[in-house]
Structure 1
C-alpha cells in the first residue's frame, strides 16, 4: 500500500507534468492577495511614465498567459483593466512597429533595440 508521502509526491509530479501546479500556485497567491487587500485603500495617482511601464509589463504578462500576475498588478496599482492600444504605446515610446514585431510584446522589441545599439557601440 502506498504511503501518504508517496501519494503526495505522485500527485505533485502529475500536476507539475500537466503544467497545472504552477497555475494553481499562482491562482492561490492571487486569491489570497485579493482576499487580504483593503478595497478602501486609495491608490496613488499613476504618473504617465508608470502607466506606460505598467502597460508594457501587462502586455508581456498577457502574452505569456500570466493572467493571475496581471490581476495582482492591476489590483496593486489601481489601474484600469482596459489595456492601452498598442499603437498608442508605440507612438508614446517612439517605436516603429512592423508586422513581425507586432507578433510579440513591445518589451521584446525594446530589449532587442537596446541590445543591437549596445553591440554597435
Structure 2
C-alpha cells in the first residue's frame, strides 16, 4: 500500500505532466490576491506611460495564456478591465505594423526590432529619452486629456516624429 507521501508525489507528478499544476498555483495566487485586495484604498492615478506599459504586458500575458497573471496585473494596477484597442496602442506608440506582426503582441515586435537592429543602423544605439515622471508632471499630464481620457502623446512626453515600423520574422 502506498504511503501518503508517495501519493502526494504521484499526484504532483501527474499534475505537472499535464501542465495543470502551474495553472492551479497561478489561479490560487490570483484568488488569494483578489480576496486580500483592499478595494477601500484609492490607487494612485495611472499615468499615460504606465497605462501603455501595462497594456503591452497584458497583451503579452494573454497571448501566452498567462490569464491569472494578467488578471492580477489588471486588478493591482488599476488598468481598465477592457483592453485598449490594438490600433490605438500602435498609434500611441507611433508604430506602424506590417501584416505579419499583427498576430503577435506588440512587445514581440518591439523586442525583435531592437535585437535585430545592427550597430550601423541610425548611429548604433538608441538614445532613450525619459518622459517627465515627477509627481507634478504626471498630474499635469493626466490633467491635459485628449482622445477619450488619454493624454495627447506630445503632452505626455512622447515623440510624434516618424513612426517606428515593426516587421515580421519572430515567433
What is the TM-score of this pair, normalised by structure 1?
A: 0.95
Report SS of the residue matched to 1:79. coil
For the residue of structure 1 that corresponds to 2:102, the secondary structure is helix
Aligned equivalent of 1:41:
41
Match of 1:31 in 2: 31
Counterpart of 1:70 in structure 2 is 70
Q: Which residue of 2 aligns with 1:2?
A: 2
The Cα shift of 1:117 comes to 2.3
Q: Secondary structure at the match of 1:44?
A: coil
| Alpha-carbon distance in 1 for matches of 2:69, 2:81 | 13
CA distance in 2, matches of 1:105, 1:74: 17
Report matched runs for 1:80-95 at 5 Å.
80-95=80-95
After superposition, the C-alpha distances for 1:47-73 in whole angstroms (9 at most, x for unaligned) are 110000000000001101111111111
Q: 1:101 to 1:119 in 2, by over 3 A?
A: farther
Aligned length: 121
Q: Name 1:15's counterpart in structure 2.
A: 15
Structure 2: 5+ residue stretches without partners: 125-171
Q: Could you say what the CA RMSD is over the residues aligned between the two structures, in angstroms?
A: 1.1
Please say which of residues 22-31 and 88-97 is displaced more in the overlay.
88-97
Based on CA coordinates, which of the two structures has the bigger radius of gyration?
2
- Deviations along 1:18-66, one digit per CA (max 9) or x if unpaired, are 1100000000000111111111110111111000000000000110111
Q: Which has the higher strand share?
A: 2
